[in-house]
Structure 1
Amino acid sequence: MEIELSNQRTFWLAFLGLVLTNLFWAINVTLARGYIDQVAPIALNLFRWLGAFILLTPFALRGTIKSWPIIRPKLLPLTGLAILSISCYNSLLYLAANFTTAVNITLINTLIPVVTLLIAWRVLGNRPRLMQLLGITISIIGVLLILTQGQLLRLLSLSLSQGDLLMLAAVTCWALFTVLLKKLSIKLSPIIVLYVLIMLGLPFLLFAYGIEALFFRSYWPPLSHLGLFAYLWVFPSIFAYIFWTYGVQHIGAEAASLSITLMPLFGATLAITFLGESIYWFHIAGGICSLFGMILALVSPERFTRKTRQKSSAC
């Protein structure tokens, strides 16, 4: 009984963490869109992670040194994970925001669960369960309801731009990161994993920042942008990545990726709250579909089997 309660507690903590992660990331996208004319995209990503690294150092440096015997043999795969997550994903997303609409970015981002399932099937040999496929379908329908304002035929008029292709690359990077993180299965706390990933990813971001400043656009954060970066350092960087790592470790890569379908729901809520937009039926219907689909795909068949057995025993 104690083990079962512990498993349930772990499951719901992971679930709550994934919900908060997508809220933090939705705010991150909203802020990035608002500052896109003032902040260069690679610079935004660099200073975001540099600040997070500095904030994490007092809490993670000692544990990282102590865990170095575990980390050292896995430096190469960890570097690959750092390039995919820290260096590439958000850089590509911020770049995409210069060339495509927020609707397209959010829509393409919802492909992450599908791409993750396909990669996990290939890399981990995890054949998608019927419940997962059904949950994904329901969640994506909910997302599409929100993005198309209840008119699904609008999807036929969408066209791919340079920004859309950048988002497709970003989606692939994040799906690969999620699956490979699960495959690596490193026995370290999420905060140390994040700290190591930032440490390994920053040199690549510094190199990209140098190219951006030299050939395209130079940027150094002014004091007026301190509030923006303070949020980026703490919530979408530190908390979100720790919660995501915890979710991947405890409920799996495919299940964790399904939570991405909550981002459009949070994005719509933010627009209603801060931009004065109205709420319509498709916001409510889409949100219910996204949440129900995520829960359906996350709950394993064993949970239903165990409950059925318990009821049978009681009778």
Structure 2
Amino acid sequence: MNAAAQGSEPVRYRLAVLALWGAPVLWTVNLIIARKAPGLVDPYTLAFGRWLIAAVVLVALSWQELWGKRAEVLRQWRHFVVLGFCGMLVCGAWVYLGAQSTVAMNIALIYAASPVLIGLGAVLWLGERMRPTQVAGVVLAMAGVVHVVVQGRWTALAQVQWVAGDWWIVAAMVAWAAYALLQKLWPSSLGDSARLAAISLGGVLTLLPGMVWEQMSATHLPVTAEALAIMALAALVPGVGAYWIYGWAQKILGASRVAVTLYLGPLYAAVAAYAVLGESLGWQHIGGAALILPGVWLVSRR
């Protein structure tokens, strides 16, 4: 490695750590979208439109590379379809489906297991190492998430009831872990934008049957201008922006360390709900922050 490349490594590392803290801000936009979507647009249609718009944007940005490496894209097309199924269909449409019959507490509690699953997979299959301080950070952050979700009343965990919609969320949690780990297990010479473009196209392909089925249903919701606006917002912010940053940071920091950013989601979502939706902030958010922020810091340390 030459001197210039060596000098760029600390800069890339610092940018990746900054992205680790900043990317969850983009995920919180999905909170607003999830609140607006019911009764406005059907789940598969929303996910299909979101990733179709994202794919068009990403293909436009990386067209030359995709065309120049078209032989590799065709050779790896199965990888892109599987990644699209996990990251765009299951973690998109199925979350919207689950949210129709389960509650926010169940969704947040189930998703709290995803970083742990990714961390275990990264150690077992990717050969990544987790120091004791990183394990402690994951435990701290997960405790903070639970504290926020149960609003500081841990006895509420005994009152959690399992409903049918929770199975959709469990599938999404496992699929996100698979999406994160498979990106590391299936390396590609494509750049970050070109690879995400190919994965998005794979996601669009897997979402197409569900979208067609919804639109042929007698009870389908018409695609209005407001629905298209929500699709565009979902495509550009938590879609292109958050997915691109997540994949880029994962290459530098590793799957297990970047996965802990998911624990910042409930905390950032509470702030977003306060600022955008007028919801109140409580002591449970302060207590959760006191656990989540040091936990993420421990995991993100070099």
2:89 to 87, 106, 110: 87
User: What is the match of residue 146 of structure 1?
Assistant: 148
Change (3 A) 1:124 1:80: same
In structure 2, C-alpha distance between the alignment counterparts of 1:119 and 1:139, rounded to whole Å? 19
What is the aligned counterpart of 1:165 among 164, 167, 171? 167
Q: Could you list the per-position Cα deviations for residues 121-169 of structure 1 after superposition, in whole angstroms to 9, with x for gaps in the alignment?
A: 3332445432221111000111111111212221121122112111111
Which digits, 9 at most, give the CA deviation of each residue in 1:212-261, with x for residues without a partner?
33357424421133432231121111111110110111111111111000
Query: How far apart in 1 are the matches of 2:227 and 2:216?
Result: 22
Q: After superposing the two structures, state which structure 1 stretch, 127-136 or 239-248, moved more.
A: 127-136
Distance in structure 1 (CA, Å) of the matches to 2:62 and 2:73: 13
Q: Which of 204, 223, 238 in structure 1 is aligned with 2:240? A: 238
2:38 matched residue in structure 1: 36
Residue 88 of structure 1 aligns with an amino acid whose one-letter code is V
| Structure 2 residue 255 is the aligned partner of structure 1 residue 248 | no
Change (3 A) 1:4 1:63: closer
Instruction: State which drifts further: 180-189 or 42-51.
Output: 180-189
Match for residue 15 of structure 2?
A: 13
- Are residues 271 and 291 of structure 1, via their aligned partners in 2, closer, same or farther at CA, if it must alter by over 3 Å? same
CA contact (8 A) 1:20 1:240 kept: no
Matches within 5 A, 1:288-303: 288-300=290-302
Match of 2:136 in 1: 134
Q: Which residue in the other structure is 1:309 paired with?
A: none
**1:67-86 map, 5 Å:** 67-86=69-88
Q: Shift of the alpha carbon at 1:192?
A: 0.6
Match for residue 269 of structure 2 among 256, 267, 274: 267
- Mind listing any 5+ residue stretches in structure 1 that lack a counterpart? 301-315
In the aligned structure 1, how far is the partner of 2:22 from the partner of 2:38?
A: 24
Q: Secondary structure at the match of 1:77?
A: helix
Q: CA distance change for structure 1 residues 180 and 217 in 2, over 3 Å: closer, same or farther?
A: farther
Aligned equivalent of 2:47? 45
- CA gap of 1:119–1:215, structure 2 versus 1, over 3 A, is farther
- How much identity, in percent, do the aligned residues show? 26
| Paired positions, count | 300
The CA deviation at 1:108 is 1.6
TM-score after normalising by structure 2 = 0.92
Quick one: distance in 2 between partners of 1:180 and 1:224? 35
C-alpha deviation, 1:72, in angstroms: 3.3
Counterpart Cα distance in 2 of 1:285 and 1:4 = 40
C-alpha distance in structure 2 between counterparts of 1:158 and 1:238, whole Å: 34
| Uncovered stretches (5+) of structure 2, i.e. residues with no partner | none
* Stretch of structure 1 that moved more, 134-143 or 54-63: 54-63
| Residue aligning to 1:209 | 211
Q: Distance in 2 between matches of 1:61 and 1:3?
A: 27
- Secondary structure of the 2:166 match is helix
User: Which residue in 1 is equivalent to 2:182?
Assistant: 180
